[in-house]
Chains A and B, each alone.
Chain A
Amino acid sequence: VTEEAHNPLEQFEARKILSLPDIFGYDISFTSASLFMGITVLAAALFIGVGTSRKQLVPGRLQCMVEMIYQFIMNMVKENAGNEGVKYFPVIFSLFIFILFANLLGLVPYSFAVTSHIIVTFAFAAFVFVGVTSIGFYKHGLHFLHFFVPKGLPGGIGGVVLAIFMIVIEFFSYLARPVSLSIRLAANITAGHTLLKIMASFVGASLFGVFPFIFLLVFTGFELFVACLQAYIFALLCSIYLNDALHMH
């Protein structure tokens, strides 16, 4: 066993599978990350496709699972973004199902956790951010800028100074949204996988390896929970941001 085999961060390294020529100076090689993103999409599509292929009145197990997830996300969107938000349900549902499958597939031994890469999660978050901001401007026009002006400011010069100050802070807090959205997901998945790996390296150390092994068992279950929870939080925050853009607060 080499030294590198025990490096807990090695699992997050994207390895080149198929080298491709650079395009505009960007390396577009097919990596393990690309492979597992492809597998995630396929698995999710298969799950939904097979689950809804035999539309039975009394659903089987698979159809039941698909319907439950659909209902769950639909209710979440309705609750948080209102009936107008249902128009954007397909996007939120796709995001949820992709992140859920990426998180769960990442937990399979020897696989690759796509959502541990901040560039992947940030791409989603930035997409949501740009989309939601465009919806806000499309729906409210320049009135959407009132979103950054807090209510209940005092009058006079003091009020103006405070307003400028608050608008800057509000603007930063708005810009922080995609960053917090992406950091949360990537950090949770990275932390979980790193801890699993570190604990796993203790198992073979001695006879007392039984204890880290028990911990590992319990923690794997917890990681399954985190995988689902993080996908849910991502979708939930997307619908909350959508609500802000549709209705302003």
Chain B
Amino acid sequence: VLPEKNEISSLERLDSEINRMKARLNPVPPKKPEGIAAAMQMGAELLAGAFVGGISGFYMDSWLGTSPFLFILSFFLGCAGGFLTLMREMDKKEINEMNETKDTAL
């Protein structure tokens, strides 16, 4: 009976060791909000980008006297910034989903 017990415990040790190494090789990416939480997060992101771009462009214009060129430029750059945030969120979400399907497949 005794050697068997030892065998099992050593196998368990090996298993936990493998899991530890695996976790070190591919760290779990931070979880993102899901479902309705994610949906609510997205809308404000677009709005905020355009808002920040527009406002900062407007004030830079009145400061440098270049109305309306900086406003137009930075408004579109701000929109691009909003889209960038959005794309990044979606990318992370996709990675999450991929990991989840991988886990269930195993």
Contact = CB atoms under 8 A, between A and B. Distances in A.
Interface of A: 79-81, 168-177, 179-181, 183-184, 187-188, 229-230, 232-233, 236-237, 240, 243
Contacts of B48: 176-177, 179-180, 183
Q: Which of A171, A175, A229 has the most CB of B within 10 A?
A: A175
Given A79-B30, A176-B49, A180-B44, A170 B84 contact: yes
B29 to A, nearest CB: 10
A169 B37 contact: no
Given A79-B31, A180-B45, A169 B81 contact: yes
Contacts of A174: 81
B64 to A, nearest CB: 16
B47 A180 contact: yes
Interface of B: 30-31, 33, 36-37, 40-41, 43-45, 47-49, 51-53, 56, 74, 77-78, 80-82, 84-85
Given A79-B30, A229-B36, A172 B53 contact: yes
A233 B37 contact: yes
A229 B39 CA distance: 12
Contacts of A168: 77
A177 B88 CA distance: 13
Q: Sorted from nearest, which 3 A-B pairs have the closest CB atoms?
A: A180-B48, A173-B81, A172-B81
Contact of A173 (B30, B41, B49, B51): B49
A243 B27 CA distance: 15
Contacts of B36: 229
Contacts of B56: 172, 175
Nearest to A226: B40
Contacts of A170: 81, 84
A172 B44 contact: no
B80 A187 contact: no
Contact of A172 (B33, B40, B47, B52): B52
Contacts of B41: 184, 233, 237
A233 B52 contact: no
B26 to A, nearest CB: 16
B30 A80 contact: yes
Contacts of A176: 45, 48-49, 51-52, 78, 81-82, 85
